[in-house]
Amino acid sequence: MRPAIFLLGVFLAAGSCSPDKPSNTEEYPDASGKSAPEANLSDPTKGIGEVKEVKLHSPLEQDRIKRGLSIYEMKCQPCHKLDETRVVGPGWKGVTQRRRPEWIMNMVTNVDVMLEKDTEAQKLLELCLTRMPNQNVSLGDARDVLEFMRSNDGEK
Amino acid sequence: MLIPCALWLAVAGCKPQTPAQVATGDAAAKVYVAPGKYDEFYNFVSGGFNGQMTVYGIPSGRLFKTIPVFSTFPENGYGYSEESKPMLNTSHGFIPWDDLHHPALSTTNGEHDGRWAFGNANNTPRVARIDLKTFTTAEIIELPNSGGNHSSPFITENTEYVVAGTRFSVPVGDNADVPISSYKKNFRGTISFIKVDPSSGRLSINFQLVTPAVDFDLARAGKGPSHGWFFFSCYNTERAYTLLEVNATQKDKDFIMAVNWKKAEEYIAQGQGKKVKARYAHNVMDEKTHMATSEILNEVLELDPVQLKDVVYFIPCPKSPHGCDTDPTGEYIVASGKLAALIPVFSFTKIQQAIAAKDFEGDFAGIPVIKYESALYGEVKKPGLGPLHTEFDDKGNAYTSFFVSSEIVKWNVKSLEVLDRVPTYYSIGHLCVPGGPTRKPHGKYVIAYNKITKDRYLPTGPELTQSAQLYSIDGDKMQLLLDFPTVGEPHYAEAIPASLVMPNSTKIYRIEENQHPYAAKGEKEAKVERKGNEIHIYMTAIRSHLTPDNIEGVRVGDDVYFHVTNLEQDWDVPHGLAVKGAANAEILIMPGETQTLKWKPLTSGVFPFYCTDFCSALHQEMQGYIRVSPAGSNVPLKFSTGKVEPETTTGK
Amino acid sequence: MHKNSRIILAISALALVVTIFVPLWRILMWAPQYPESLSLQIWIDNITGDLRTINALNHYIGMKQIQVSMFPEFAFLKYLVLILTVVGLAGPVFNSRRMVLGWMLLLVLAGAGALVDFYRWGYDYGHNLDPSAPIKVPGMAYQPPILGTKQLLNFTAFSGPDVGGWIFVAVGAITAILLVWEFRFRKI
C-alpha cells in the first residue's frame, strides 16, 4: 500500500506544479518567430499549435512523399520505426488512422507545448518515458512527413 | 613606567588604517541578478596564459563560457578533434598553447556591432576571430616577422583592419640567422594591417609596416576626426637587446608612434611597397562542414615608412609608455608612461598642425619626431604611481589604472583634473568600461582586472585565484560593488550590452546544411567502412542511443575514426563521446554538427564507449562496444544497433 | 641609596643583556598590495624580516640591497651592550648615586648615538640611488622615518622600537625615575 500512496503523492505534486511559462520569452523570441500558439479550442483532437486545418489530397502527392522520406531518415528514424514496433517512440504504422493530420503536424512542429498541454501527447510520454525532442521541423517539412506517413499506411 | 606606555600608545596609534575592504550600502542589490534573469552586459575577458577567452555576465560576475582560442581544450575536444586540429596549425606546426592578452570587439562607425571578437596570441604571433553568433573561434591568422604579438589586436573604426604590432623587434627578411648584437642593423619592428572582409569577416594581411627596431606595447585606432590614423606606444627606444629592465628604461622619453594608414593605402594603390617572402598559416573553420582547414601562405607586402614619407611619425612620451588610448571624440590620445609621474594627453589637431608646420625636433632612424610640446594638449599632474591603461565613459571622463599605487583614478579629459580615486585589491592591470574604447561608451561600470589577489579569497595553496572587481561609475564617486574570480590571467577585457549579442546567438546547426564529408544525416547513413588500415565509423547520436553501438572487425594497428553526427535539432542538447583507452580528449558535438575522435587501439579487446554529456533520463544507457582483434585477424567488419544475436559461445 | 633602588638598578642593568637576544627595532611598511605589511627587524648583530621582498621592490627605484654587511656596527654592538651592563652594575654594587648618574648619561648617549647612526644609514639608503634605476621620480627620496610614520610613494612606512628597544627605553625610564627619587626625596 505504502509505495502506491507514495507514488500517488509524487504524481499529485508533479501535476500541481506544472511549470509557468518563462516570463521573459517576449524579450527573446524564438528565432523562427512563431507566435505563441493557442489551443484549438474547437477540436481537441487536432492538438495544439499553428496547424488548424490540413487539406489532404487524393491521390497522394509523390513529391511530398519523397521529401518526407528523407526528412524521416534524417530526423525521425532513430526513434520511430515504420512498422508497429515501439523503440524510443511509437512505430508509425497506422498513425494516420489513429490521429488527425492536424494533431500529427502539431506534435511534430510544436512538441514542447503539446507535451505540456495535450492529454493524448502526455499519454504517449507516460508510455515511452522519453520526451520527443524538438527537431526543428518546419511546417512545410511536417506536411511532407505527413504525406510520407499516409503512404506508409498504404494510402494511394 | 607611564612613559613607555604612553609611547607605546602613541606608536600604535600611528599605524596606518587598513583600507575599508567591505563593499558598502546597496552594493549587493546592484550586482544581484535574480535567478532566471539576464545580465546587462557580456564581458569578454582574455584568459592570458590559458590562451582562451572567457565570457562573464556583468554586473553579476558570473562565468558563462570559456571559448577555446589558442590552447587545446579537452573539455570540448578543441585541438583534439580531427576537425579542430588545423585551427592550431602554424608555420612551426601544431602548437597546443598560447597566451591571449587582448580581446577586441568589432565596431561599425566606431560603435560596437556585436559581430566578432578578436584576440591575440602573444607567444607565437597570431590573431583570431571569434564568431559571436556561435561563440567559437572561426579563424586564426599567423603573423610573420613578429615576436611577442602584444600590441594586438586593435581595430579601426569600421573594423576595416585588425592591427597587430610586434613587441620584440626581430630580424626580418630571408636571413634571420644573425648575431643578437646586430640588433640595430638587422632587427626591425613590424605592424601588420590585417584586412577584415566586411561581410564574411575573413582575414588577410594587407600589408606590414616595417619600422625601426623598438618594442611596441599597445595601440588604439583614431576615431571620428582621427579615423585613418593609428597610435602605438613604443618603448626600448634605447634599442637594448639585453637586461631591458635597466637598459630599456634609461631615456626620459620614448615614443608614441602615429601612423597614417590611409596614406599607406594610397601608396599601395600606386603600386608601392614590395612583396617579400614570408611563411605563415591561415586557418579557417567552415560552419557548414564543421571542419577547419589550414593553409600556409608565402608572401606579404612590406611598406618602408622611411622611404614612403608621411606615413609614420614619432611623438616623444615620458618613460616607457604602456597604454595608448584615444578618447571617444577621437581628439585626445592618452599615453601612460608606466614609470612616469604624470599622464600626457596629446591632441590630434595639434599633431596635424605640427606635421603641417614640420615642427620636428629631429628624426629617429629616419622617421620624423614631432616636438613634445607641439603635440601635447596637457598633462594630468600627480595622478598616481605606475599608470597603465585608460578607458572612457559617456560623460567625458577617463579612468586610468595604476599598477604601483593599486588604484583607479577618474579624471576629466578636457580639464585634466583628477576627480576621484578608488583602491583596487591588488595591483590592477587593465580596466574595462563597457564600450570604453568606442565612440559611444555605455558607461555605468568600470571593471578592474588585478594581478594580485592575496588575501581576498580563501587560499588555495601557492597559486591563488585571479580576480576582477566591479565598480559603479554612475555617481561622482566610484563605488566598489563586487569581487569576482576569473580563470587564467585576465589582461584586457571588453564589455558589450547583451542586447547587441543575445538575439543573434545560434541555437543549433541545421542538420540539412551539414556538409561534413563523414556526416551521417540520419541513422540510415550510419555505417562503418574500412579503407586500408583506416576505419571510418559514421555514427549518429540522439537521445538516448548511439548508432552503431556494436562494432566488430577492427584490428590492432588500425586508425579508428569516430565521426559522430548529433541528430538533435533542439537547443542545448549536445552529445559527447569518449572511448576507453583513447589517447585523446572527448568530443562534444552540438546539435546538427559532426565531430571526429581519432583512436589508435594498441591492444585487442572489447572497448566501451559512451556519451559524456548528460543528455536525457536515459543518458547512462547511451553506450556501446567496439571489439578490437589482433593485427591480421580475420574477424569480419560488422556493426549494428539494437540487434540481438543468438548467444555466441565460441571464442572463450 | 635605598636597598630596593639598588636591587632594581642592578636588575635593570642586567636586563640590557636580554637585548642581545631580541630584536631592537622594527620597520613596518604597508602598501595597497601589502595590507598585511612587510616588516624588518633590526637585531644587535643582524637584520631579518621580509628582506628579499623589500630588496626586490626597492631595486625598481634604485635602492641598495639591504644586507648584513651594510652594517659594520653589528660587529661590536654586542660588546657595547655588555660594557653598558657592567658599568651599570657599578652604581648599585658600590652604592654610588654619581655612578648611576654617569651610567644614565652613558645610556642616553648610546641611545642618541644609535639613532644618529640609524639616521645616517637611512639617509644614505634613501638618497644614494642607482642612477640607472627604471623608476626615477624627480625630487623623490626614500629615507625611512626614524620614529613614526611616513609616506614613501605607494608605501606607508613606520619605524619604532621592538622588544629590545623597549627594554632600553624602560631601563632608561626606570633609572631616571629612581635617580630623581634618590636625589630629590631621600636624604643620605
Please report, for the domain that includes residue C31, its CATH number: 1.20.140
Residues of C with CB below 8 A from B404's CB?
Answer: 153-154
Judge: C30–B249 Cβ closer than 8 Å, yes or no: no
| CA distance linking residue B372 with residue B161, whole number of Å | 29
Instruction: Please tell me if residue B1 touches chain C, with a CB cutoff of 8 Å.
Output: yes
Q: Give mean pLDDT, residues C18-44.
A: 91
Instruction: Name which of B430, B429, B436, B390 is nearest B409 in CA terms.
Output: B390
- Look up the ipTM and state it: 0.70
Residue A9 has pLDDT above 80, yes or no: no
**Peptide bond preceding B328 in cis form (omega within 30 of 0):** no
Between CA C47 and CA C54, with CA C51 as vertex, the angle to 5 degrees is: 135
**Which residues of chain B lie closer than 8 angstroms to C148, CB-CB?**
11, 14
Cα dihedral value B123, B129, B135, B136, nearest 10 = -70
Coil vs helix vs strand at B295:
strand
Q: Which residues of C touch B19 (CB under 8 A)?
A: 32, 35
Residues from chain C contacting residue B14 (CB–CB below 8 Å): 148-149, 158
Cis peptide before B548 (omega within 30 of 0): yes
Backbone angles phi, psi at B197, to 5 degrees: -65, 125
CB pairs under 8 A between B and C: 71
More confident residue, B629 or C73: B629
Average pLDDT over residues A68-82: 93
Cell numbers representing residue B226 in the block = 582621427
| Of A73, A130, A136, Cβ closest to residue B508 | A136
Which among C26, C33, C140, C150 is the top mutation candidate for probing chain B, defined by the most B β-carbons within 10 Å of its own β-carbon? C33
Higher per-residue pLDDT: A11 or B180 = B180
> Chain A residue closest to B573 (CA)?
A133
Higher pLDDT: C90 or A26? It is C90
User: Domain range holding C56?
Assistant: 3-185
State whether CATH 1.10.760.10 applies to domain A56-156.
yes
Q: Which residue carries 648617549 as its cell? A: C109
The answer to whether the CB of B213 falls within 8 A of the CB of B184 is yes
Q: Looking at the predicted structure, is the pLDDT value of residue A16 above 60?
A: no
Place of cell 608612434: B257
Q: Residue C66 — left, alpha, or beta (φ > 0 → left; ψ -120 to 50 → alpha)?
A: beta
Closest to A73 (Cβ–Cβ): which among B522, B573, B616?
A: B522
Touching chains A and C? (3+ Cβ pairs < 8 A): no
**Rounded to whole angstroms, how far apart are CA atoms B497 and B444?**
11
**Could you tell me if B277 and B233 are in contact, meaning their C-beta atoms sit under 8 angstroms apart?**
no
Interface contact B472, partner C, CB < 8 A: no
CB neighbour class for B20 (10 Å; exposed up to 12, middle 13-18, buried from 19): exposed
Are the beta carbons of B66 and B54 closer than 8 angstroms? Answer: yes
Other CB atoms within 10 A of residue A89 CB: 18
d(CA B60, CA B28): 10
Q: What gap in Å lies between CA B358 and CA B394, rounded to an integer?
A: 35
Q: What mean pLDDT do residues A114-136 have? A: 92
Q: Which domains does chain B have, with CATH numbers?
A: 71-213+273-307 (2.130.10.10), 511-640 (2.60.40.420)
What is the average pLDDT value for chain C, to the nearest integer?
A: 89
SS3 B179: coil
Find the length of chain C.
188
Place of cell 653598558: C84
Predicted confidence (pLDDT) at residue A61 exceeds the cutoff of 70: yes
**Domain-by-domain residue ranges, chain A?**
56-156
Q: Find, among A105, A112, A119, A118, the residue nearest to A150 by Cα.
A: A105
C-alpha cell, B274: 614590395
Pair C57, C34: CB distance under 8 Å: no
CB contact under 8 A, C158 and B385: no
Residue B262: phi and psi, rounded to 5, are: -65, -40
CA atoms within 13 A on the CB side of B467: 20
In this structure, what C-alpha cell is assigned to residue B280? 605563415
Q: Which residues of B53-83 are buried (b: 16+ CB within 10 A; e: fewer)?
A: bbbbbbbbbebeebbbbbbbbeebbbbbbbb
Enclosing H/E stretch for B57: strand B53-58
Instruction: Return phi, psi of residue C122, to 5°.
Output: -60, -40
List average pLDDT for each run of 10 residues in chain B, which is 652 residues long. Answer: 42 45 75 96 98 98 98 98 98 98 98 98 98 98 96 97 97 89 94 97 98 96 97 94 87 94 97 95 97 97 96 94 96 91 95 97 96 97 92 97 93 97 94 97 97 92 94 95 95 98 96 97 95 97 94 97 96 96 97 98 97 90 96 95 79 54
- DSSP state letters, B84-115: TGGGGEETTEE-----EEEEEEEEETTEEEEE
Other Cβ atoms within 10 Å of B498 Cβ, number? 18
DSSP one-letter code for C72: G
Q: Is the pLDDT of residue C42 over 50?
A: yes
In this structure, are residues B324 and B344 in contact, taking their beta carbons and an 8 Å threshold? no
Q: Is residue B574 within 8 Å of B136, Cβ to Cβ? A: no
A13-17, A80-84, B177-181, B426-430 — which is least confidently predicted?
A13-17
Q: How many domains does chain C have?
A: 1
What band does C183 get if pLDDT is binned at 50, 70 and 90?
Answer: confident
With an 8 Å Cβ cutoff, are B11 and C136 in contact?
no
Phi/psi at B5 (5° precision): -60, -45
Q: How crowded is residue B8: how many other Cβ atoms within 10 Å of its Cβ?
A: 14
Percent of chain C having pLDDT more than 70?
Answer: 98
- Residue C29: what residue type? M
Strands (E), chain C: 25-31, 34-42, 47-49, 148-152, 155-161
Q: What is the pLDDT of residues C3-26, one digit of tens each?
A: 888 999 999 999 999 999 999 999
